Amino acid sequence: MSSTLAKTPLHDWHAAHGGRMVEFGGWSMPVQYSSIVAEHHATRQAAGLFDISHMGRIRFDGAEAAQYLDSLVTRSVTKIKPGQVRYALMTADDGGVLDDVLVYHLQDAAGGSYYLLVVNASNRPKIISWLGKHPEPEGVQVTDLTTSWAMLAVQGPKALGLLQPLVEVELSALKYYSAVETRIDGHGGIVSRTGYTGEDGFELIVGNGAVQALWEKLLAAGASEGVLPAGLGARDTLRLEAGMPLYGHELSEEINPYQANLGFAVNLEGRSFPGHSALLTLAHDNTRPRIVGLELEGRRPAREGYEVRSGGQVVGRVTSGTFSPTLEKPIAMALVAPEYTAEGTPLVVDVRGQEVAAKVVPLPFYRRSH
Partner 1 sequence: MTPDKLLFSETHEWVHLDQTEAQPIATIGITAFAIEALTDLVYMQLPKVGDQLTAGEPFGEIESVKAVSDLYSPVSGEVIEVNSKLPDNLEILNDDPYGEGWMIKVKVTDPAPLSKLMKLEAYEKQCSEEQ
Q: Which residues bind partner 1 (CB under 8 A)?
A: 31-32, 35-37, 233, 237, 298-301, 303, 322-323, 325, 330, 352
Decide whether 80 or 296 has the Cβ nearer to partner 1: 296
CB 343 within 8 A of CB 260: no
Nearest-approach distance from CB 237 to partner 1, in angstroms: 6
Q: At 299, is the secondary structure helix, strand, or coil? A: coil
For 112, other C-beta atoms within 10 Å of its C-beta total 10
Decide whether 32 or 178 has the Cβ nearer to partner 1: 32
Decide whether 41 or 290 has the Cβ nearer to partner 1: 41
Q: At 340, is the secondary structure helix, strand, or coil? A: helix
Decide whether 204 or 308 has the Cβ nearer to partner 1: 308
Nearest-approach distance from CB 291 to partner 1, in angstroms: 21
Nearest-approach distance from CB 201 to partner 1, in angstroms: 21
Distance CA 123, CA 74 (A): 17
Nearest-approach distance from CB 300 to partner 1, in angstroms: 5
Decide whether 80 or 308 has the Cβ nearer to partner 1: 308
Nearest-approach distance from CB 143 to partner 1, in angstroms: 36
CB 194 within 8 A of CB 203: yes
Distance CA 13, CA 216 (A): 10
Decide whether 237 or 256 has the Cβ nearer to partner 1: 237
Nearest-approach distance from CB 203 to partner 1, in angstroms: 24
Decide whether 25 or 301 has the Cβ nearer to partner 1: 301
Burial (CB count <10 Å: 0-12, 13-18, 19+), residue 369: exposed
**What distance separates the 2 farthest-apart alpha carbons in the chain?**
64
CB 136 within 8 A of CB 53: no
Nearest-approach distance from CB 210 to partner 1, in angstroms: 32
DSSP 301: P
Closest CA to 72 of 53, 91, 56, 57: 91
Nearest-approach distance from CB 235 to partner 1, in angstroms: 12
Nearest-approach distance from CB 32 to partner 1, in angstroms: 7
> What is the residue type of 168?
E
Decide whether 262 or 296 has the Cβ nearer to partner 1: 296
Distance CA 294, CA 277 (A): 32
- Angle made by CA atoms 248, 249, 252, in degrees to the nearest 5: 50
CA 68 to chain centre: 23
Distance CA 348, CA 311 (A): 9
CA 145 to chain centre: 18
CB 25 within 8 A of CB 101: no
DSSP 64: T
Helix axes 36-45, 232-241, angle to 10 degrees: 60
Nearest-approach distance from CB 229 to partner 1, in angstroms: 15
Distance CA 45, CA 41 (A): 6
Decide whether 257 or 325 has the Cβ nearer to partner 1: 325
Decide whether 289 or 301 has the Cβ nearer to partner 1: 301
